[in-house]
């Protein structure tokens, strides 16, 4: 798993690549917490390169959503691969997150 | 003021256990019922002990060391069995908290009674011994019984055998405590030092176990359901297994088994989603069609019968935990 970040207009764009499972989730959570502590108001998580997510990964997405909501910020997810999107649809997590097709759509929303 | 020593430690201990429940498995309503039952059970145990004493004229030591541990643990554990049988507890964590809550209610009632009986003689040392020692022991014994019960239920599924084992251990611990092998004050100190550590270790183990269960089951179930929805079940091991059942079941039965399996996966995924949501501080989502789907599943379970259920065991293991999980959606 690899996480990169860049500033895009007034958003912080995070790009996650690889797998988000139990073995990867600790380091991902640590990096995410450091980013959240910086107090960004708008975060886009681009999951174009994410090819697997387990419950540990979903847990971290939920933490991000909760923290951003609590701080009055925005957290947007985009670029979900069909197999990952299916997990969100099946489990009903689509009701919790703001999900967009790609970065452009997330920026405009 | 002195009575606070009798109440405060056990309530604080219960609160700490409640806070350790990171997955928010515990229902406040059931917790309150457990405390209430604990209070009721103190009265029931008092009546039982008094009645037995009148019948058999026990000496004080026999009554406190051997009779009271049995009567008190039996009435306390009775409600715990009901809580588990009604599938309000699915893991060691919530079961232990419910168990401790029953003991808390019991201890609150018992210490109030002591306070009222002894009046000015209810001195600080007695309050400390009863508050830090006896009260926490009352919660601890039922919590230990709950841990044994849940672990046993998950392994064997037999509530009677595991209940008896759990009850026996609770009685044994209670009886050992009432023997006062050590000085009562030292005993209270030992409980305050060791019990939180023991509970913390059990809770850490149970939380890790819960995370692993979520991790493995959630991914497997999502994969399987997506294969079913993509019409690719035949390509999976589960699909190949279902195909072998053709020789033993009618077509109608097989259709019902297929529907049961796929509905189970769908509901199980949503139940696990709710566990994840609650852990992260979000309210659980109960979709409008959930109750219909649960009713449908119940109906399908009846239609496929015991034979169908046994045949589906390699795919759908309806153990206590799975039934508890689906109960969370109701």
CATH number at residue A74: 3.30.750.24
Predicted pLDDT of residue B119: 82
Q: Best of B214, B230, B277 to disrupt the A interface by mutation (most A CBs within 10 Å)?
A: B277
Phi, psi of A74 (to 5 degrees): -120, 135
Max Cα distance, chain A (Å)? 34
3-state SS string for B199-231: HHHHHHHHHHHHHHHHHHHHHHHHHHHHHHHCC
**Would the pTM of this model clear 0.95, i.e. be above it?**
no
Listed ranges B60-74, B122-136, B251-265; the one with the highest mean pLDDT: B60-74
**A23 burial level (CB within 10 Å; 0-12, 13-18, 19+):** exposed
pLDDT digits (tens, 9 = 90+) for B195-240: 999 999 999 999 999 989 898 899 899 989 999 988 888 888 988 9
Instruction: Output B173-182 pairs: Cβ under 8 A, ≥24 positions apart.
Output: B173/B137, B173/B140, B173/B141, B173/B144, B174/B68, B174/B69, B174/B72, B174/B73, B174/B137, B174/B141, B175/B65, B175/B66, B175/B69, B177/B133, B177/B134, B177/B137, B178/B64, B178/B65, B178/B68, B178/B69, B179/B65
Residues in contact with B217: Cβ distance below 8 Å, sequence separation at least 6, in sequence order: B268, B272
Q: Up-side HSE of residue A46: CA atoms within 13 Å toward CB?
A: 21
Tokens of B118: 């002894």
Task: Return the residue of A nearest to B213 by Cα.
Answer: A55
pLDDT for B330 beyond 80? no
Question: Rounded CA gap, B134 and B283, in Å?
Answer: 37
Residues B169-196: tens digit of each pLDDT = 999 999 999 998 888 889 999 999 999 9
Check: CB of residue B222 under 8 Å from CB of residue A89: no
Instruction: Retrieve residue A80's tokens.
Output: 């979900």
Q: Which of A58, A59, A92 comes nearest B287 by C-beta?
A: A92
> What confidence score (pLDDT) does residue B320 get?
81
Tell if the CB–CB gap between A58 and B276 is shorter than 8 Å: yes
Q: Where do the H-state alpha helices sit in chain A?
A: 22-37, 55-70, 82-91, 103-108
CA distance B40 to chain A (A): 40
Q: Where are chain B's structural domains? A: 4-205, 231-329
Neighbours of B44 (CB within 10 A): 17
Which residue numbers of B have CB closer than 8 Å to A's CBs? 211-212, 214-215, 218-219, 222, 225-226, 266, 269-270, 272-273, 276-277, 279-282, 285, 287
- Cα separation, B268 vs B272, whole angstroms: 6
Structure tokens at A83: 């197999």
In angstroms, the CA B169 to CA B141 distance is: 8
Q: Tell which residue, A63, A62, A37, A61, has the closest CA to residue A47.
A: A61
Which tokens is A57 given? 């990964």
Q: What is the DSSP letter of B135?
A: H
Interface predicted TM-score of the whole assembly (ipTM), two decimals: 0.85
By residue range, what is the domain housing residue A7?
Answer: 2-108
In this complex, which of B219, B273, B285 lies closest to A54 when CB atoms are compared?
Answer: B219
| Residues 6+ positions from A11 with CB-CB distance below 8 Å | A42, A43, A44, A106, A107
| Count of domains for chain A | 1
């Amino acid at each position: 798993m690899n996480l990169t970040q860049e500033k895009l207009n007034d958003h912080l764009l995070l790009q996650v690549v690889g797998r988000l499972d139990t073995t990867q989730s600790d380091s991902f959570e640590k990096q995410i917490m450091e980013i959240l502590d910086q107090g960004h108001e708008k975060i886009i998580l681009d999951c174009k390169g994410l090819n697997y997510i387990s419950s540990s990964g979903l847990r971290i997405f939920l933490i991000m959503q909760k923290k951003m909501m609590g701080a009055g910020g925005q957290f947007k997810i985009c670029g979900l691969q069909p197999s990952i999107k299916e997990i969100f649809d099946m489990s009903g997590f689509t009701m919790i997150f703001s999900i967009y097709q790609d970065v452009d759509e997330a920026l405009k929303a | 003021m002195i009575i606070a020593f009798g109440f405060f430690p056990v309530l604080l201990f219960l609160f700490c256990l409640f806070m350790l429940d990171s997955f928010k498995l515990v229902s406040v309503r059931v917790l309150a019922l457990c405390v209430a039952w604990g209070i009721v059970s103190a009265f029931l145990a008092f009546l039982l002990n008094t009645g037995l004493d009148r019948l058999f004229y026990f000496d004080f030591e026999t009554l406190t060391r051997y009779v009271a541990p049995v009567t008190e643990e039996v009435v306390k554990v009775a409600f715990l069995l009901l809580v588990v049988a009604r599938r309000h507890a699915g893991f060691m964590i919530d079961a232990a908290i419910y168990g401790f809550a029953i003991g808390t209610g019991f201890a609150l009632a018992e210490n109030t009674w002591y306070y009222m009986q002894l009046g000015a003689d209810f001195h600080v040392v007695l309050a400390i011994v009863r508050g830090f020692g006896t009260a926490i022991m009352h919660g601890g014994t039922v919590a230990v019984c709950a841990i044994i019960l849940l672990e046993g239920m998950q392994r064997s599924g037999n509530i009677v055998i595991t209940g008896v084992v759990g009850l026996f251990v609770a009685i044994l611990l209670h009886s050992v405590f009432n023997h006062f092998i050590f000085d009562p004050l030292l005993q209270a100190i030992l409980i305050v030092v060791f019990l939180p550590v023991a509970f913390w270790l059990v809770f850490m183990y149970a939380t890790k176990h819960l995370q692993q269960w979520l991790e493995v089951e959630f991914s497997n179930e999502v994969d399987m359901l997506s294969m079913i929805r993509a019409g690719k079940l035949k390509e999976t091991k589960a699909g190949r297994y279902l195909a072998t059942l053709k020789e033993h079941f009618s077509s109608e039965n097989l259709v019902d088994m297929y529907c049961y399996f796929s509905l189970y996966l769908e509901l199980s995924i949503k139940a696990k989603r709710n566990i994840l949501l609650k852990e992260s501080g979000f309210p659980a989502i109960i979709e409008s069609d959930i109750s219909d789907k649960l009713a449908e599943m119940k109906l399908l379970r009846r239609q496929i019968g015991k034979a169908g259920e046994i045949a589906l065991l390699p795919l759908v293991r309806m153990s206590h935990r799975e039934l508890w999980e689906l109960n969370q959606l109701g």
